[in-house]
Chain A
Amino acid sequence: MTVHNIRVGESKRGDASDGALAQTVGGRLSRVDGPAKITGAAKYAVEQQLEGLAYAVLVESTIASGKVRAIDTTAVQAAPGVLQVLTPETIISLKTASDWFGTPPPDKPYCPLARDITFSGQHVAAVVAETFEQAVAAAALVKVSYDETPSIVDLSDGKAGDGIPIDAMTKEWGDAQAAFASAPVRICAAYNTPREYQAPMEPHGLIARWEGDQLTVWEPSQWLDGMARTYAEWFGVPFENVRLVSPYIGGGFGSKALALGHGAVAACAAKMLGRPVRLVMTRPQTFTGYGGRAATRQTVTIGADTQGKIQSIVHRGINETSIDGMWVEPLGSVTSIMYATPNFSSKQNVVRVNSVVPGAMRAPGENPSAFGIESAIDELAYEVGIDPLEIRLRNYAEQDPEAKKAWSTRQLREAFAVGAERFGWARRTPEPRSMRDGNQLIGWGVAAGTYPVRRAYGEAIVRILADGSVEVESSSIDMGQGTYTILAQTAAETVGVHADDVVVKLGDSHFPRAGVAGGSRLAGVMTGAVYKAAISALDQLVGLAISDPRSPFHALQANTLVVANGRIASPRGDGPDVSIAELLKSVGRDHIEATGDTMPANSTAEDRYKNYTTIAMALPHTEGDYSRHSWCAHFIEVRVDEDFGTVRVSRVVSALDSGRLYNPKLAESQWKGGIIMGIGQALLEEGIVDRRHGRIVNNNLADYLVPTNADIPDIEVISVGIPDLHSSVLGGKGVGELAIVGVAPAIANAVFHATGKRIRDLPITLEKLI
């Protein structure tokens, strides 16, 4: 087993911020998994070195719609090193698995290699060989012939139509149409976002190994228990027979939460061959092997009075989905809560196109939703002649306008105030094209963002070991959010030891269970579970110290004892003062162990299974009396070259409310990362579809442009959050998804201020400005 288990104290740290104060919850402790990552010692999933490993390479469809007529593998079979060629005819049959809600699947077989083609890049065959190079060469010899039929390449295709209404997305109160019609000020505009891709630096892939009917899968995963369930259902084996191992994850951003077709292919190959098989997607395959963010279209109409006070919002949206799958990108999610309005209507359709089914990408729903409403409110500000910051305050929602409930916490007003002060917003001249530096037009834009607090349950084991160190185990994961670190801090503070003396083990589905690392929920869930387990372990420790006849504290007859800095003492300071190790030795124990979970007390085993392997039991963010969300305000400066239309982001100040931060150093990194991905979304990122074959033509990291170091200025982030105990056990709200929300509209608004041109179609590229 390879999981991260480096003790912090064993490596040189050299950081003054890692002192005693950094060790507790809320401290700026450096990443405890950092030493492994900076030395190359951290072994990611597919880097396990296994005896007898064979290598699989996928072959994908080159048409977007039609049927596979034949697959000629004659040349492949004769190629050196080839062990196996998988086609729909030769691959073993699987069962259809349930979806992530746990909906019982249709009773029909599942084949991860397609005969019926619904998008370009669909897996149609795979080749397994002794070496990676042999598999790559042999896969190029697979000859696939097709009967091609016309395809719908994207939303702008004439055959795409209006799509399917998704009634569950409809939100309405008051009479939005009538109020809009009678409003003295009216704006109406359409906003588009293209296909975007998560593009994590580590490509998707796995190693699958069967031992009898036991399957081990080393695979980067945002959700070990959910993926284990899918593998178990595909192969018809008990859940316990599948072990997912994922010690480190090279970025996910939503794309590594589910078991996917390539995983099924690798697991089938391993079973058929009787050898462990490694399959890693090529970078181009990552653009069609799973879905990125769906392309979206929105219209936002706002009716307001002449003072800019909103009277009505009418919102209509569509997103693309695939021919045979369903993805809904909730486009009204920010529209319905950001501003107070007495009348509101939002509806959404989905449109089927010949694409892989889109998926979750950092703040699905909130991200494009905010591009619509946060651009539209800026347009309204200019229409009525009010400062874009002032109009946001004038329409501030004092409670959740949709749920009609109080916010648990909403430090958005504070975010606007602090961000504006640090940015120097008061020095902004409102007229477009009124600020310049030589031939560069300067624009200042503002926009807000939000993300709901998604809550679920988790469990963890906390052990106090004979040497006084503490061990934490959980099947949750760390893909860079800092789970290893904040759980070490939580256990350290709760038990009363240094974080240096805590080892956190994650990323193995045989550990105590956890739900998905998605929707910014994991930190809140797992700090709660570790806190409960650690309290329980501490109670046992203190109980032993007080009551065991062999304990040095036995004669003291104390009611309680204090554990701090790894030592146990009486709260009054009288009596013995011994280390945890000495106490355990005196009472003859080699460890203390406690399991903690945050599930309701009467939960059944079935409840637990459902909680950890589906998302069906997640608590709504408006459950009970409160509406729970994170909030942020972005202030962004752009410089636009007047002659060339090139846009550079030159300054960013963002103030964010994620409640209490478990580790500000790591939270700030995640926020900045979200802002940087937002800069990419605003200025660079767009999946370009070839209109003849429905292919993503820029399916690589040279042509699908993600931000580089040279694209990014220094970024200032400021925490304005306060502990929110309605949102989590320790008071935090979501961090990871929040900061991208609102960045693209802040940039679009800044570009308007710089140039006088309103770009409603992302990304904002130079040809749209000249």
Chain B
Amino acid sequence: MTSLPITLTINGHRHELEVEPRVTLLDALRDRLGLTGTKKGCDHGQCGACTVHVDGERVLACLTLAAQAEGRTVTTIEGLAREGELHPVQAAFLEQDAFQCGYCTTGQIMSAVACIREGHAGSDEEIREYMAGNLCRCGAYPHIVAAVRQAALEVQS
């Protein structure tokens, strides 16, 4: 299969890549660019561990081809903290102990940032519903809800 040259803008940095058209954004991030903060849990869009932002919206990197992200703005977990300051969602996850093994966590955080931005963090029930696409087998859900609730208040204030 012929490789094609693409340029990806990730966390504000431009990356030139030669990839086959079938390479997913997830594998490009993890295997080609060393950005392993985005996790692979199922590779089929079922678990949410690979959630990143493309043009500010949450997408599953395993269901997105790398080539589809060309010309768009990609943000991964590595680009969330600004100048060493944790994003309010990250700080809330730590404070509320909203994770255990940590493997779904980066996807949860990217989803939570978008969930708040979408205006879907208005109540615990709404948070549960709009965070339901991110599985956590350690069972941190009640603490994830608490963290998103806390961060939503901080972001809005």
Contact = CB atoms under 8 A, between A and B. Distances in A.
User: Are A and B genuine complex partners?
Assistant: yes
B97 A666 contact: yes
Contacts of B86: 11-12, 14, 35, 38-39
Nearest to B49: A201
A723 to B, nearest CB: 23
Contact of A44 (B36, B84, B140): B36
Nearest to B105: A37
Interface string B73-89: 00011101100111000
Given A249-B101, A283-B41, A708-B135, A669 B143 contact: yes
Given A44-B103, A712-B128, A676 B94 contact: no
Interface stretch (A534-542, A555-563, A698-706, A747-755): A698-706
Contacts of B95: 14-15, 17, 30
B126 to A, nearest CB: 10
Contacts of B36: 40, 43-44, 47
Interface string A704-735: 00111111111100000000000000000000
B37 A39 contact: yes
Does more than half of chain B's interface fall in helix, strand or loop, or is it mixed?
loop
A42 interface: yes
B43 A282 contact: yes
A608 interface: no
B40 interface: yes
Interface in A88-145: 131-133, 137
B139 A203 contact: no
A672 B102 contact: no
A33 to B, nearest CB: 7
B22 interface: yes
A251 B136 CA distance: 10
A63 to B, nearest CB: 24
A738 to B, nearest CB: 14
Does more than half of chain A's interface fall in helix, strand or loop, or is it mixed?
loop
A250 B128 contact: no
Given A670-B100, A714-B124, A707 B30 contact: no
Interface string B37-63: 111111110110100000000000000
Contacts of B137: 198-201, 251, 253, 677, 706
Contact of B41 (A12, A482, A701): A701
B144 interface: yes
B46 A283 contact: yes
A49 B34 contact: yes
Given A39-B81, A40-B78, A709 B102 contact: no
A677 B101 CA distance: 15
A58 to B, nearest CB: 14
Contact of A133 (B27, B77, B80): B27
A234 interface: no
Contacts of A198: 137
B109 interface: yes
Contacts of A676: 139, 141
Interface string B85-119: 11000110111010111111110010000000000
Contacts of B124: 714
A248 B41 contact: no
Contacts of B133: 708
A669 B100 contact: yes
B77 A40 contact: yes
Contacts of B94: 13-15, 30-31, 34-35, 38
Contacts of A702: 44, 46
A33 B94 CA distance: 10
B153 interface: no
A12 B139 contact: no
Contacts of A43: 36
B103 A710 contact: no
B142 interface: yes
A308 to B, nearest CB: 34
Contacts of B22: 133, 137
Contacts of A674: 139
Contacts of A274: none
B138 A480 contact: yes
Given A133-B22, A200-B137, A201-B137, A31 B97 contact: yes
A203 B41 contact: yes
A701 B144 contact: no
A461 interface: no
B90 A38 contact: yes
A714 B146 CA distance: 10
Contacts of A201: 39, 41, 47, 49, 101, 103-104, 135-138
Nearest to A43: B36
Contacts of A666: 97
A672 B101 contact: no
Contacts of A280: 40
Contacts of B135: 201, 701, 706, 708
Nearest to A676: B139
A700 B78 contact: no
B31 interface: yes
Nearest to A41: B37
A481 interface: yes
A283 B42 contact: yes
B44 A283 contact: yes
B145 interface: yes
A566 interface: no
Given A669-B143, A701-B47, A709 B131 contact: yes
Contacts of B134: 709
Nearest to B89: A38
A34 B93 CA distance: 9
Interface string A659-685: 000000110111011111100000000
Contacts of B37: 39-41
A702 B41 CA distance: 12
B1 A673 contact: no
A202 interface: yes
A700 B103 contact: no
A248 B101 contact: yes
Interface of A: 11-15, 17, 30-31, 33-44, 47, 49, 80, 131-133, 137, 198-203, 248-253, 280, 282-283, 479-482, 665-666, 668-670, 672-677, 700-702, 706-715
11 contacts: A12-B86, A37-B102, A41-B78, A49-B34, A133-B23, A137-B22, A480-B138, A666-B97, A668-B97, A675-B139, A707-B139
Q: Which 8 residue pairs are nearest across A and B when measured between Cβ atoms?
A: A40-B37, A480-B100, A250-B103, A676-B139, A673-B139, A37-B102, A480-B101, A40-B77
